[in-house]
Structure 1
Amino acid sequence: MRTISDTLARTTRLKPGKAEPVHPRSRLLTLTDFGSNPGGLKAKYYLPKSLAKKPALVVVLHGCTQIPADYDAGSGWSKMADEHGFALLYPQQLRDNNGNLCFNWFLPDDFGREKGEALSIRQMIAAMVSRHKLASERIYVTGLSAGGAMANVVLATYPEVFAGGAIIAGLPYATASTVSEAFDRMRGHGIPQARELRTILRAASGHTGPWPTLSVWHGTNDGTVSEANARAIVEQWRGAHGLGSTPDVTETVDGQARNVWKGIDGRDRIALYSIRDMGHGLPLDVASGYGKSGPYMLDVGISSTAHIAHSWGLTRKPARRRQNRSAAKPPSVRVTPADRPFSLGEKIRTVIGYALRTTRLKP
């Protein structure tokens, strides 16, 4: 097992290049003048030609090396927004804040309420709701990897803002405050026990409820962010919702395992999707018509975008694959040369390692 010093040495030698874009031209507009912006972030947004009555807002947080346009093209969120009339907000990390465009989910000055990047995102949301007359009770957030961890940050620090969240290959809130701790947590080492996780969450805002609903998505073969983090996120939020340790529903959805914890009213509160054999990335079903394969965008036969949107009431039903599928045989994960352990896995670890090593502390 590599030590932190080993990893840092490797990242020093193997500085990654820029991520290749996967979009022909961005559909996104720039959001300006949204507040004091203590986190020094930029913001993009998307409004479909026709907004629904009481339009929802979905906040989407990209992963390391990505920019909003890449993430939108790969995930298919703006296409779904066109069809169902909701708005999108894409906070954008800058290299001045983080060497490889990772949100700083592990820096105390960025993961606290009324601080840094968390407050910047809150200010963006307020500007979008005010300027475009969006429904303040229909605000949701999702993110991948470092973006998933930052989605958990804003859910924890501003739970009164969000009706729901979806964390993809992310980490529990406020369990790392240094670079070395961030590496450890990503590997699944040193994650606090359930009681401490819940105490950390409750201390983030002083909120008394109701709490946002949550779905957690993670690949069982993720070599970059250990699957133990997905279970820890569930434990952290299960306490806030007052849910039991055993899921109320265990089922297979589009060939993948889904565990659901329900509230006393019978509504889904937390859902955990375990994507069999998937590495580090966003689960897609390209055949559904939403998203396309690319770096960290993995066509594994289940559309996280469609299922997440449906769980939030943004669509009438989740998209299904366009071709016939045998119910008895789950879809297999499509492995390309770039997905094999010693290429994609090592590349992602190198990228994130370099990003953490070059993170710049804000004054």
Structure 2
Amino acid sequence: MRPFASRAHAGIRSLALALSAGLISVIASQSSTAAERIDDFGDNPGDLLMYLHRPADAAAGLPLVVALHGCQQSASVFDDETGLVALADEIPFLLLLPEQQEANMFNSCFRWYDTDDNQPGLGESASILSMVDFAIRTEGVDPDEVYVLGLSAGGAMTAVLMANYPDRFAGGAILAGLPYGCNRPVNAFDVGWYWRHTFGLDGIDASYACGIVVSSLTDRDPEDWRRFVLDTLPAEPAQWPPISLWQGTGDETVDPDNLQELTEQWTALHGIDTVADSREEMGGIVREVYSGAAGDPLVETWSLDGFGHAVPVDPDGEPETCGLEGAFILDADICAVRRIAEFWQLR
């Protein structure tokens, strides 16, 4: 176990409070989950828990989807409520749900901001990859069909995993999350970052806030965002996984402008420009797609007008319902996990 007290930091507490500000409490009942807890999955330097849901007709060669909950959530409130379990049974795919422990982080946030946890082979990043390897080894998962998605701090940890191991994931999705490396300086002469890091901004340690609090957004150039990722790797991969990015304009926890920063980071990594190749409007929802030279969609963005800090679900959807409303999971008349699976071409 990693005692949280030994790694306490005032900025971390500010981060967690910011991530949970203005949101309702977690659903009281978290005792049941559709997934099985796996205790001995291998190396676990991040001291995380592992849950695995197998669809009824599970067989060798299925894809694997890794789903990372947000702060104040758990695996048990991120499976059925998001619509992931029903979708896993329908497609089918195996569903892996890592879970944070309060002993690691008092607000149950994945530690995307900590260099002991967000670098290849270290901490929570290594623990989640160990879970993936376990599923490949014991469940016959297709290693070329591993995907990852996450909300909020789980979205930021999704960015970590895709940056740390781009050749291990076939696709990703970040919902109300943050770009990789957003809490680091551009260079040794980044006086603005040093000022925020040392003195904070409006009482928040902005080296951790990283655009979480409105007006504290860390604005970087696309090439800086690209470099932050490449700095972690021994070599650039032959190709980057496609990514789906979701953000509500009414989010008061994560600055909605992070959608633009994430778009800049991932279009830069894919070597494409930030001009969308297609745009689709559905009421207050706007989807834009950024394609490669061959016309294949590499980055898609979803902007939901007035939507808050949550996974979009569609409990009354036709012909398929999707998810249940709860803390951090809100009705938007669109099923995010289904749209993400379609983007990944999981059918």
Q: What TM-score, normalized by structure 1, do the two folds share?
A: 0.80
Work out which of the residue numbers 44, 57, 62 in structure 2 matches 1:50. 57
Match of 1:60 in 2: 67
Tell whether the 8 Å contact from 2:38 to 2:51 is kept in structure 1 after alignment: yes
Match of 1:312 in 2: 344
| Higher deviation after alignment, 33-42 or 56-65 | 33-42
Are positions 1:182 and 2:208 aligned together?
yes
Deviations 1:89-125, CA, capped at 9 Å, x for gaps: 0010001110010001111111101111101111100
With over 3 angstroms needed to count, the CA separation of the structure-2 counterparts of 1:190 and 1:257, relative to structure 1, is: same
The corresponding residue for 1:138 is: 145
Match of 2:77 in 1: 70
1:204: how far off?
A: 2.1
Number of the residue aligned with 1:275: 304
* Residue identity in the other structure for 2:339: H
* Aligned-pair CA distance for 1:24: 7.5
Q: Does 1:301 align with 2:327?
A: no
Structure 1 residue 85: Cα displacement: 1.6
> Partners in 2 of 1:84 and 1:25 — Cα distance?
23
SS of the residue 2:281 aligns to: strand
CA contact (8 A) 1:22 1:73 kept: no
2:4 maps to: none
Are 1:240 and 2:269 an aligned pair? yes
Q: What amino acid does structure 1 have at the position aligned with 2:335?
A: S
Alignment of 1:36-47 (within 5 A): 36-47=43-54
Counterpart position of 2:202 = none
Question: In structure 2, what is the Cα distance between the partners aligned to 1:17 and 1:25?
Answer: 20
Could you tell me which amino acid in structure 1 is paired with residue 77 of structure 2? D
Say if 1:294 and 1:24 are closer, same or farther in 2 by CA, change over 3 A: same
The verdict on how the C-alpha distance between 1:199 and 1:94 changes in structure 2, with shifts beyond 3 A counting, is same
Unaligned runs of 5+ in 1: 316-363
Asked whether the 8 Å contact 1:218–1:227 carries over to 2, the reply is yes
Partner Cα distance (1:67, 1:111) in 2: 20
SS state of the match for residue 117, structure 2? helix
From 220, 237, 260, give the equivalent of 1:192.
220
Report the CA distance between 1:314 and its aligned residue: 1.7
1:244: how far off?
1.5
Residues in 1 aligned to 2:132 and 2:178: alpha-carbon distance in whole angstroms: 22
Is the 1:52–1:86 contact (alpha carbons within 8 Å) kept by the matching residues of 2? no
* Correspondent of 1:218 among 247, 269, 291: 247
1:33-55 alpha-carbon deviations (Å, 9 max, x no partner): 22221111111010011036731
How far is 1:255 from its partner? 5.0
The answer (yes or no) to whether the contact 1:61–1:91 under 8 Å persists in 2 is yes
- Amino acid across the alignment from 2:38: L
CA gap of 1:195–1:162, structure 2 versus 1, over 3 A, is same
CA apart distance, 1:254: 6.6
Root-mean-square deviation (Å): 2.5
Q: Relative to 1, partners in 2 of residues 1:10 and 1:263: Cα closer, same or farther, differing over 3 Å?
A: closer
Which of 149-158 and 31-40 deviates more? 31-40
Provide the rounded CA distance (Å) in 2 between the counterparts of 1:87 and 1:264.
Answer: 32
- SS of the equivalent of 1:75 reads coil
Amino acid aligned to 1:217: W
TM-score (norm 2): 0.83
Q: Letter of the 1:213 partner, please give it.
A: P
Distance in 2, matches of 1:123 and 1:308, equals: 24
Alignment size in residue pairs: 309
C-alpha separation between the residues in 2 aligned to 1:36 and 1:265? Answer: 40
Q: Distance in 2 between matches of 1:255 and 1:9?
A: 30
In the TM superposition, residue 192 of structure 1 has moved relative to its aligned partner by 2.4
Are the structure 2 counterparts of residues 112 and 103 from structure 1 closer, same or farther at C-alpha, using a change threshold of 3 Å? Answer: same
